[in-house]
Amino acid sequence: MKELTHLEKPKAISLHQLFSPFVMELLVILFLVEFVKGALLVTILPIYMGTVLGLSAFAIGWAFSLQYIGDNLFRSPLGWIIERVGYRICMLMGLIVTFVAVGIIAITSQLYFIILACLLLGIGTSPLWPCVVTGATQVAGQEKQGTVLSVVYVAWLSGTGVGPVVINFFVKHSYAPAFRFLLLCMALVTIVALFLPGRKQTEELHRSEKEDSAETKLSMGNLSQKIKATLHEVRKNLHVSWWFYVALFLQNFSIGLLTPVITLYARTVIGLNPTQYSILLIIGGGITVVALIPMGRWVDKMGTKWFLHIGFGLTAATLFVFATTRSMLFIYILVCMLGVGYALIIPAWNAFIASVIPKSERGAIWGFFLTLEGSGMVVGPIVSGRLWDMIGSHAPFYGSALGLLALFCIHWYISSRPRVTAAS
């Protein structure tokens, strides 16, 4: 993404300046929007659509897929739009669309309206990351970029993890209190967005970046030329096996297979109540979050190879067993193992991808890679719903396990062969 390179020239910035009202507003918006999104996608929608509305798993998968399509489709040009209309208008428009999406889900039981709401949810939240990352790094500058991005990711993980847990306390007897609470959160976050910089303030923030902005405007002017240029740079600068591109798709595809059915499986097949499911989320997510930082440091020191070998293998085996067991004690153990597995995979996988990207073309190639990974999240939920309906509730877990096993084999093959390191 071009916006990520639009940073102010290095200058001394104090912590007080770094965590300015603008940055704090962005962090609050990020937390609350991810809270609402996590509550809907992880806890409410799978059960609400599956048990209350009686929709098929295939329909649920399509709804989730459309959410990811809406998010990824509109995210790329938004950095260019932010510079011209300001943070306030861009974020407000997205939040209003998100507000409408939550409202539709709260008042309707029609399949087509629910699917439309999921698409609107993706479109509405698409300005979130471009606004937050561009604004936060712009204020931080080169010196504090790492610090501010670490705080951004904490806000993101906190919202995504807390939302599904907290919302369970509102759905014990009826979904109405949960929807009212989520609408209240959206009202609050919309009010916060009113204090973001308008067009004139945004232009001042971008004043030192006029040359880069002109370059961005030119590149956005012809989308087909931009795509051709990106593909040309990928062919010219990357020296990787074509299996690498398959791995990029499979990594998110294996997650996408589980996203629409994991809650439905836990509640309807295993028979967990909301409290038990919340505990599982806290345990699995907590282990992953706590282990990420030390795992990342070890990856920097020891390399990615064995972290990914162990992570892919452990997670694949755990998911396979998870689909066959009903013992609560064993389920808790398996969730702990999944937390460790993803803590091994996440930092090592990102470092592995970064190691093959030439620094001179990082923006274009990262965008291409993110598109491939995003396509896995689009296809995964659709396939997941079909597997659930045609084969059984265990099928998406077996499919995800097979995808991770394939990743294990592909990574073993790639890492065992000499490759050209990324050019600087």
From the list 183, 169, 51, the residue with the least C-alpha distance to 117 is 183
CATH of 222-419, one of 3.30.565.10, 3.30.470.10, 3.40.50.10170, 1.20.1250.20: 1.20.1250.20
Please state, as a whole number, how many other Cβ atoms lie within 10 Å of the Cβ of residue 390. Answer: 10
Give the whole-angstrom CA distance, residue 153 versus residue 357. 22
CA distance 203 to 133: 17
pLDDT of residue 219: 42
First CA to last CA across the chain, in angstroms?
A: 18
- The confidence score (pLDDT) of residue 408 equals 93
Tell the residue number behind the tokens 């609402």, with chain if given.
36
Asked whether the beta carbons of 261 and 396 are under 8 A apart, the reply is yes
In the chain, DSSP finds a helix count (H) and a strand count (E) of 20, 0
Instruction: Give the CA radius of gyration of the chain.
Output: 21
> What is the three-class DSSP state of 143?
coil
Hey, CA dihedral for 93, 94, 98, 104, is it positive or negative?
Answer: positive
Angle between helices 362-390 and 57-75 in degrees, nearest 10 = 170
Separation of alpha carbons 100 and 116, rounded Å: 11
Here the tokens at position 281 are 């989320």
DSSP notation for 246-277: HHHHHHHHHHHHHTTTHHHIIIIII---HHHH
Give domain limits for the chain: 1-221, 222-419
pLDDT of residue 358: 63
Q: b/e string for 321-330 if b means 16 or more Cβ within 10 A?
A: bbbeeeeeee
CB atoms near residue 66 (< 10 Å)? 22
C-beta of residue 396 within 8 angstroms of C-beta of residue 403: no
Distance CA 70, CA 65 (A): 9
The DSSP output letter for 11 is -
Residue 35's CB is within 10 A of a number of other CB atoms, namely 23
**Domain 1-221: assigned CATH number:** 1.20.1250.20
| Fold match flag (1-221 vs 222-419) | yes
In one-letter notation, the amino acid at residue 207 is: R
Inter-residue contact 171 to 43 (CB < 8 Å): yes
Name the DSSP letter for residue 6. -
Task: Report the C-alpha dihedral over residues 190, 194, 195, 199, rounded to 10 degrees.
Answer: 130
- Phi then psi dihedrals of residue 229, to 5 deg: -65, -40
Which 8-state DSSP code applies to residue 2?
Answer: G
Rounded (10°) CA dihedral 127, 165, 273, 346: 70
Q: Residue 408 in contact with residue 344, Cβ under 8 Å?
A: no
Quote the tokens at residue 367.
């965008």
- The pLDDT assigned to 102 comes to 93
Q: What are the mean pLDDT values of the chain's consecutive 10-residue runs (424 residues total)?
A: 40 56 87 92 82 80 84 68 77 93 88 88 86 72 57 76 85 84 95 83 55 42 54 62 86 86 84 83 82 76 86 93 88 92 82 68 58 79 88 92 93 74 42
The answer to whether the beta carbons of residues 1 and 362 sit under 8 Å apart is no
Tokens of 155: 């806000």
CA-CA-CA-CA dihedral for 386, 387, 388, 393, to nearest 10 = -170
| Residues 251, 346: Cα–Cα separation, whole Å | 10
Pairwise CA distance, residues 152 & 30, whole Å: 8
Token duo for residue 78: 């938004």
